[in-house]
Structure 1
Amino acid sequence: MTTVLLVLHFFVAAALIGVVLLQRSEGGGLGIGSSQGMGNFMSGRGTANLLTRATAVLATIFMALALALGLLNQGTGRQRSLFDSPPAATAPALPAAPVAPAAPSVPTN
């Protein structure tokens, strides 16, 4: 169930990003959502209203899925954070064996 909701959440997030990028911003921005590419289908105002409503619907679905995923994982007993678990136990480092200094070499004639 959680996996299905996660996949659905991913697709809704991607769609929300796309719809937001399609909207015409005040400063020009991407301007992809202009009526020029829509032909006679919709006017500029109709396109803006459609994209605004789509953004609101997708944002509502996104928040509902986020809350549902949070509630589903609330009582699972799973680790909630990386900081909740103690650090992994590592083997104590063995002391290095002392190294005897090498005897000076004496030249032989």
Structure 2
Amino acid sequence: MQNVVLIVHLLLALTLIGVVLVQRSEGGGLGIGGGDGNASAGRPPLTAMAKLTWVLAAAFIATSLTLTVIAAQQSATSSVLDRLGTPTAPTEPTVPSLPLGDGLLPPPVADDTLAPPPADD
């Protein structure tokens, strides 16, 4: 069921993109182009493409909501960590042991090779 709704949803999305791109720009959206500047002219009547856009948009929203409801019904009541069967926090702190002499540890205190040279006064 979810796969069928998802396929319909994707087809609606692609069709909606195509219909919007095919429509003629009426201008005025950003205040540039196409408009005659007459504010009292009102809105032009809806064309067939505009009505199709509204129908496709409503169907797209309906399939979005349907997919959300289906996903919520199929979701588990427990979290992923609960399903692993391991405790979420360790009971005892663990300290990783590093092998000595591999260059990850700082040099011993007695080693003065990395000390800055003394200042000449």
Q: TM-score range by the shorter chain?
A: 0.5 to 0.7
The CA deviation string for residues 60-80 of structure 1, in whole angstroms up to 9 with x for no partner, is 11011111111112121248x
Instruction: Look up the match of 1:98.
Output: 100
> Aligned partner of 2:16: which letter?
L
5 Å-filtered alignment, 1:1-109, equals 1-25=1-25, 26=27, 27=33, 49-78=47-76, 85=80, 94-99=96-101
Shift, 1:10, TM fit: 0.3
For structure 1, the residue ranges without an aligned partner over 5 or more in a row are 29-44, 102-109
Q: TM-score, normalised by structure 1?
A: 0.56
Aligned AA (2:70):
L
CA deviations over 1:45-104 (Å, ceiling 9, x no partner) = 99x71110110010011011111111112121248xxxx655x99xx8843200189xxx
Counterpart of 1:9, as a letter, is: H
CA RMSD of aligned residues (A): 3.4
One-letter code of the match for 1:20?
V
Contiguous gaps of at least 5 residues in structure 2: 28-32, 35-43, 89-93, 104-121
With CA pairs under 8 Å and 6+ residues apart, which has the higher RCO, 1 or 2? 2
Identity of aligned residues (%): 31
1:22 to 1:99, Cα distance in 2 relative to 1, 3 A: same
Q: Sort the Cα spacing of 1:63 and 1:99 in 2 relative to 1 into closer, same or farther, 3 A.
A: same
Q: Which residue of 1 aligns with 2:30?
A: none
Give the whole-Å Cα distance in 2 for the aligned partners of 1:19 and 1:77.
35
